[in-house]
Structure 1
Amino acid sequence: MASTATGSDKEKTVQKMFSSIARFYDLNNTLLSFGLHHRWKVRTIQIASLQTGERVADVGAGTADLSILAAHAVGEKGSVIAIDLNEPMLQIGRRKLSARRLRQTACSLGNAERLPLPDRSVDAVLTGFCMRNVSDLDQALREIHRVLKPGGRMVCLEFSTPPGPALRKLYDFYSFTLLPKIGTWVAKDHTGVYTYLPDSIRKFPDQEGLKKRMESAGFQQVAYENLTGGIVAIHTGRK
């Protein structure tokens, strides 16, 4: 994707890409992460410390993996709303939630930069592999801060930057050489999404950079935990 693309251009391009691979998204996540994405998501829910009866928003829910885990954590007295801008991805999420009979869940088509939620309406916001795809990161962070109740927390799972130079070099080789070939072949994709994805990781703020952006959006007690050598990180912050 050209660096000169406007926010609107990026949004349209990203949505076209994700629509094209929606059917293969879960399969490729498992293949390309060697199954690690399941462990990363479980750890995200552990860090979120969700309580029975809480109201949770999963922003950029995609195919609803985090929403499923969150629904089990908050129980039938709680609620989870899965929000995503991409209808084909959300349709898969709806089917997964319905198959598990998680009646405390709902799905909503919505933009992370304009969340369809009232002020101070949720106890926690989860987001997994979404923030690097938004057009305006700072606006998305402000929106998440807006919808959280006082004392509520944001938990963000996102690809990041391995601090070790050896792992970073190996990760770059995998991301820019092997991942595009494998992902494109499995998904039979012609949009270039598996070239865009590693490029989006490189352009996204590193661990300290995202921490500062969250603090600028109003979050307090911002911290992060590296997983798999810093290939991914989980950031947390409180309103």
Structure 2
Amino acid sequence: MTDRETSTHQNAAEFAWQDDDVFGRIASRYDTLCDVFSLGLHRLWKRRVARCIAREDWNTLLDGATGTGDIILRLLPATSAQGRTIIASDISPRMLAIAAQRLRPSTAVSLRQLDMERMPSIANGSVDAYSISLGLKICDRQLAMQEAFRVLRPGGRLIVLEASNIRWRWLHRAYLAYMGVCMPLLGWLATGGDASAYRYLLQGVRDFPGAEALARELAGHGYVDVSFERLSLGIVAIHTARKPAERADGVGRAGEPGEMAVAPRGRPLDVPSGLGPGRSVRIDPHDQCEPEPCLDRPPRLPHLWKAHRPHAG
């Protein structure tokens, strides 16, 4: 098990928006930064997330850390928004202002300034689907996952795109070395010398837990049907999970604000060690591995996205 998998940092980037309005300062250059740091791959990742959301059955969607609205922009052409409620939220007013300009033709989207760690204006069990893209590493992820559990309805889906770990350690070390050497220079040039913009990103990528560890954390918060799919060799992963459906005995009932869910009963959650890039795994109390519907057919994208599946027998 790597240090990333055993990371105890709850806010991987150690970022506090109350102390540093970095996203307000770089809002106008944020999309350029995303292209620079990911070499354009973030566009493919977000398109994949939008497809996952579109395949879900939802009436109310909350998109956390929406930034400049990339996920919603990719979602609207893929699904009908008629009769649905879409809430695009972010902690930065300037990011939301840009999102508002980009989403202006759509009347189905409501933009709100929300802190993912605490959203008192969102009622218990009021959201059918909740997406967070590249925002979990810059907040207290335990509080954010707990708050997501509260606002989701029983049976509601959580979809998270976040930094992950490349399975081959030598390649992951090389990737981190590249990030550590090249990204500060590229970030400095792209932001006009704002060092904090890339410092938070680098630390968040370096200290965020690996895919297996994050899956265990989600299960520990009470989510079921937890699965993940590594993309681009494991640079990022899409995690999906559900809040348990409500039963007659009360299990799965929406909790009160701040209430910690009880982890699912059963055997300890073990993650197979032989997972390759692009493969998804379901984490449940019985260790059943099964791809989620939205993860079973990777789109035809560059070879970095190619899925590796086990041979029968």
- Whether these two folds match at TM > 0.5 is yes
Q: Does 1:201 align with 2:179?
A: no
Distance in 2 of aligned mates of 1:84 and 1:167: 33
Q: Which moved more, 1:145-154 or 1:167-176?
A: 167-176
Contact 1:176 1:195 (8 Å CA) reproduced: no
Q: CA deviation at 1:74?
A: 4.1
Where structure 2 has 5 or more consecutive residues not aligned to the other structure, the ranges are 1-8, 244-313
| Residue among 72, 76, 87 paired with 1:81 | 87
Q: CA deviation at 1:214?
A: 0.9
Q: Which residue of 1 aligns with 2:61?
A: 56
Distance in 2 of aligned mates of 1:234 and 1:9: 22
Q: CA deviation at 1:53?
A: 6.2
Distance in 2 of aligned mates of 1:22 and 1:36: 19
Q: Secondary structure at the match of 1:12?
A: coil
Contact 1:162 1:230 (8 Å CA) reproduced: yes
Distance in 1 of aligned mates of 2:219 and 2:190: 39
Q: Which residue of 2 aligns with 1:10?
A: 16
| Residue among 91, 96, 100 paired with 2:97 | 91
Q: Secondary structure at the match of 1:112?
A: coil
Contact 2:37 2:183 (8 Å CA) reproduced: yes
Q: Does 1:119 align with 2:119?
A: no
Matched-pair identity in %: 29
Aligned residues between the structures: 231
Distance in 2 of aligned mates of 1:94 and 1:126: 18
Q: Cα–Cα, structure 1 residues 52 and 214, in superposed 2: closer, same or farther, change >3 Å?
A: closer
Tell me the amino acid that sits aligned with residue 160 of structure 1: S
Which of the two has higher C-alpha Rg? 2
Q: Secondary structure at the match of 1:215?
A: helix
Contact 1:20 1:191 (8 Å CA) reproduced: no
Contact 2:65 2:132 (8 Å CA) reproduced: yes
Q: Which residue of 1 aligns with 2:217?
A: 213
Q: Secondary structure at the match of 2:144?
A: helix
More helix by share: 1
- Listed one character per residue, the Cα deviations across residues 5-60 of structure 1 (whole Å, up to 9, x for unaligned) are 9x9972324x5221221110011212321211111011112223445762100011
| Residue among 178, 185, 198 paired with 1:181 | 185
Tell me the amino acid that sits aligned with residue 158 of structure 1: E
TM-score, length of structure 1 as denominator length: 0.90
Contact 1:56 1:70 (8 Å CA) reproduced: no
Q: What aligned pairs does 1:17-166 form with structure 2 within 5 A after superposition?
A: 17-51=22-56, 54-72=59-77, 73-98=79-104, 101-115=105-119, 116-134=121-139, 136-166=140-170
Distance in 2 of aligned mates of 1:49 and 1:210: 24
Q: Cα–Cα, structure 1 residues 216 and 86, in superposed 2: closer, same or farther, change >3 Å?
A: same
Q: Cα–Cα, structure 1 residues 196 and 146, in superposed 2: closer, same or farther, change >3 Å?
A: same
Tell me the amino acid that sits aligned with residue 178 of structure 2: Y
